[in-house]
């Protein structure tokens, strides 16, 4: 366990380092076969082979009725706190990355803060869709480096099953629910080495959920819409650029990467990025097959899986990458 650092006016460098990870998936696991059977009842044709070939997804988890984003976040938060040897009372910053909040306001982070039994510290949401966790981690890193926080809870949590159009086989088979969390603490030991955040609103329409609440009712379409080919083409290009930029900032090269943990959206995008960075399959962390695209939750979910199964050890250098609606993207290079 890393001890808290003295106040920010102390001498020497100040870094932010991950001291614990956690994740949570809802109990209901829906295999491709089960989902295909449900879609067949709606006269929507697809197959397990079609889904696996195009995405690499074999199953996903859906939250039960009444379970909201903060409920999933709470379980992941507890696991991360336990792994870090911390309690909720140690937290002085809570950031939740989500596109499926409990309500319009207050933020899911504030609701989670109440469920954790703490109060007083800053708590807010970050909305950058599937790049949300990378955005949130970068914000927490900046606040720790400037002395605004010492022990941050950073979470990606989603209930995407609530915004899917089950008449659209090109999107409804892709997404799932879940949460992943990290505890990020001030440290004398380098942790986050560099980050890169980008956005291009010109591409807002290729991945969006265009509904809103107005006049006491839903206005527009509240279900997810995606131009798959356009997203694929853009994602592959921007992820490579983000990776190379963040490596350059840190003075590192592709050979310095021990593991690539990309947003778990599509196995073909992930493999293409790894190939461009000259990384073998053994350096690519893949969990999309078991939980589908969980948007902001997917990177911390994959990180926690690889930490707990022993692949990722202290001292390993990790490249995290996310890309999502907005269009948003980014990368973080860190030493675990």
**Residues 216, 317: Cα–Cα separation, whole Å:** 49
What is the predicted pLDDT for the residue at 191?
98
- Would the pLDDT of 11 be above 60? no
Which DSSP helix (H) or strand (E) runs through 27?
none
Q: Could you give the CA distance from residue 258 to residue 256 in angstroms, rounded to a whole number? A: 6
Q: How confident is the model at residue 39 (pLDDT cuts 50, 70, 90)?
A: very high
Question: If pLDDT is split at 50, 70 and 90, which confidence band does 220 have?
Answer: very high
Catalytic choice (130, 172, 203, 266): 130
pLDDT of the residue at 6:
47
CB-CB contact of 300 with 181 (8 Å):
yes
Find the helix or strand (DSSP H, E) in which 235 lies.
Answer: helix 228-250
Higher pLDDT pick, 8 / 21: 21
The pLDDT mean for the chain works out to 95
98: helix, strand or coil: coil
pLDDT digits (tens, 9 = 90+) for 48-94: 999 999 999 999 999 999 999 999 999 999 999 999 999 999 999 99
* Banded model confidence at residue 8, pLDDT cuts 50, 70, 90: very low
pLDDT exceeds cutoff 70 at 1: no
CA dist 112 and 185 (Å) reads 19
In which element (H, E) is residue 287 found? none
**With bands split at pLDDT 50, 70 and 90, how would you rate the model's confidence at 131?**
very high
Tell me: pLDDT of 4 over 70: no
Q: Is 291 a catalytic residue?
A: no
**Dihedral over Cα of 234, 221, 72, 195: its sign:** positive
Collect all residues with Cβ–Cβ distance below 8 Å to 249 and sequence separation of at least 6: 193, 194, 195, 196, 333
Residue 12 pLDDT grade (very low, low, confident, very high; cuts 50, 70, 90): low
| 203 is annotated as an active-site residue | no
Answer for the pair 299, 264: CB distance below 8 angstroms, yes or no: yes
Q: Provide the 8-state DSSP code for 247.
A: H
**pLDDT for the residue numbered 112:** 98
Residue 107 has pLDDT above 60, yes or no: yes
| List 24, 266, 291, 293, catalytic entry | 293
Q: Which of 115, 116, 86, 94 is nearest to 19 (CA)?
A: 86
User: Would you identify the CATH topology of the domain 15-187?
Assistant: Peroxisomal Thiolase; Chain A, domain 1 (3.40.47)
Catalytic residue among 24, 61, 203, 263: 263
CATH H-level superfamily of 192-335: Thiolase/Chalcone synthase (3.40.47.10)
The reply to whether 151 belongs to the active site is no
Helix (H) or strand (E) holding 64: none
| CATH 3.40.47.10 domain position(s) in the chain | 15-187, 192-335
pLDDT beyond 60 at 3 = no
User: What is the pLDDT, as a whole number, of residue 13?
Assistant: 59
Structure tokens at 225: 């819409």
What residues contact 210, with CB distance under 8 A and at least 6 apart?
Answer: 220, 221, 225
């Amino acid at each position: 366990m890393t001890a808290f650092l003295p106040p920010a006016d102390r001498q020497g460098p100040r870094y932010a380092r991950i001291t614990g990870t956690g994740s949570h998936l809802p109990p209901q696991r829906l295999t491709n076969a089960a989902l295909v059977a449900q879609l067949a009842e709606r006269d929507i044709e697809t197959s397990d082979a079609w889904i696996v070939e195009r995405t690499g997804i074999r199953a996903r988890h859906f939250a039960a009725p009444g379970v909201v984003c903060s409920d999933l976040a709470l379980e992941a938060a507890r696991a991360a706190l336990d792994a870090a040897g911390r309690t909720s009372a140690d937290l002085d910053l809570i950031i939740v990355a989500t596109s499926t909040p409990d309500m319009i306001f207050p933020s899911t982070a504030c609701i989670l803060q109440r469920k954790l039994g703490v109060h007083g510290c800053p708590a807010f949401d970050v909305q950058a869709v599937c790049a949300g966790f990378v955005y949130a981690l970068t914000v927490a890193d900046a606040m720790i480096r400037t002395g605004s926080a010492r022990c941050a809870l950073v979470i990606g949590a989603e209930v995407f099953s609530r915004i899917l159009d089950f008449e659209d086989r090109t999107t409804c088979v892709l997404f799932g629910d879940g949460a992943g969390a990290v505890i990020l603490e001030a440290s004398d030991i380098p942790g986050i080495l560099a980050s890169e955040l980008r956005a291009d609103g010109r591409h807002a329409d290729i991945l969006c959920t265009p509904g809103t609440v107005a006049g006491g009712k839903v206005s527009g379409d509240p279900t997810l819409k995606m131009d798959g080919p356009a997203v694929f083409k853009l994602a592959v290009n921007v992820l490579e650029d983000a990776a190379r930029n963040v490596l350059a900032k840190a003075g590192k090269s592709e050979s310095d990467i021990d593991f690539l943990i990309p947003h778990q959206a599509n196995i073909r995008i992930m493999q293409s990025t790894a190939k461009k960075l000259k990384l073998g399959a053994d350096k690519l962390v893949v969990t999309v097959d078991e939980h589908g695209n969980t948007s902001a939750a997917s990177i911390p979910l994959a990180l926690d899986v690889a930490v707990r199964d022993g692949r990722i050890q202290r001292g390993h250098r990790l490249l995290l990458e996310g890309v999502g609606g907005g269009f948003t993207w980014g990368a973080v290079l860190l030493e675990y």
